[in-house]
Amino acid sequence: MLTPVLLKYFLKTALVVVLAGFGLVYLILGESSAVAALAAAVVVSLDGAGLIWVVGKLLDPRGATSGKVTVVLVLMAKLLAVGGLLWWMLAVRGLDGLGVIIGIGLGILSLVVGVNRGSTSREGQEAIRETERAIAEEMGDNEDESQ
């Protein structure tokens, strides 16, 4: 299955990108921006991990259709929770706005690079082929049942 591979590569990438970004922001903009960037990057990175998991569940050919409705509801709740948490960081806690924006960018960069690394890796390609075989088997089974 591809989801564990993508999660592994994403989390490794996020660790490197977020820590490097924190260091750069600390050196260039100072402590308050760096703390805000780190906090936002952690929230967005956790959101990215959740997104990978949710999309993996939605696209799993072996998953039950009834469970997919629940997964979509989890996706919506996750989006509301992340938006609310980022708003709370800015409006209530008063974290540095530029730092929060940089942190969001670091989290998104981690997601894009991590998923790219995971899907193009050897184990990612093997997982993709395995999923394609499962889909082909399911399509073949459905055609046999209809005849």
Q: What per-residue confidence (pLDDT) applies to 146?
A: 46
pLDDT tens for each residue of 87-104: 999 999 988 999 999 999
Q: What per-residue confidence (pLDDT) applies to 147?
A: 47
Mean pLDDT (the chain) is: 88
Residue 77 has pLDDT above 60, yes or no: yes
Residue 112 has pLDDT above 50, yes or no: yes
Q: What per-residue confidence (pLDDT) applies to 60?
A: 74
Q: Which residue has the tokens 């800015």?
A: 90
Average pLDDT over residues 125-137: 85
Q: What per-residue confidence (pLDDT) applies to 16?
A: 96
Q: What per-residue confidence (pLDDT) applies to 66?
A: 65
Average pLDDT over residues 62-86: 82
Give dist(CA 91, CA 41) in Å, integer. 17
Domain boundaries, the chain: 2-137
Question: Please, are residues 15 and 109 in contact by the beta-carbon 8 Å criterion?
Answer: no
Residue 65 confidence class, pLDDT cut points 50, 70, 90? low
Q: What per-residue confidence (pLDDT) applies to 63?
A: 67
Q: What per-residue confidence (pLDDT) applies to 128?
A: 87
Q: What per-residue confidence (pLDDT) applies to 61?
A: 66
Model pTM? Answer: 0.82
Give dist(CA 31, CA 111) in Å, integer. 25
Q: Which residue has the tokens 């394609």?
A: 132
Question: Please, are residues 88 and 106 in contact by the beta-carbon 8 Å criterion?
Answer: no
Alpha helices in 30-64 (DSSP H): 31-59
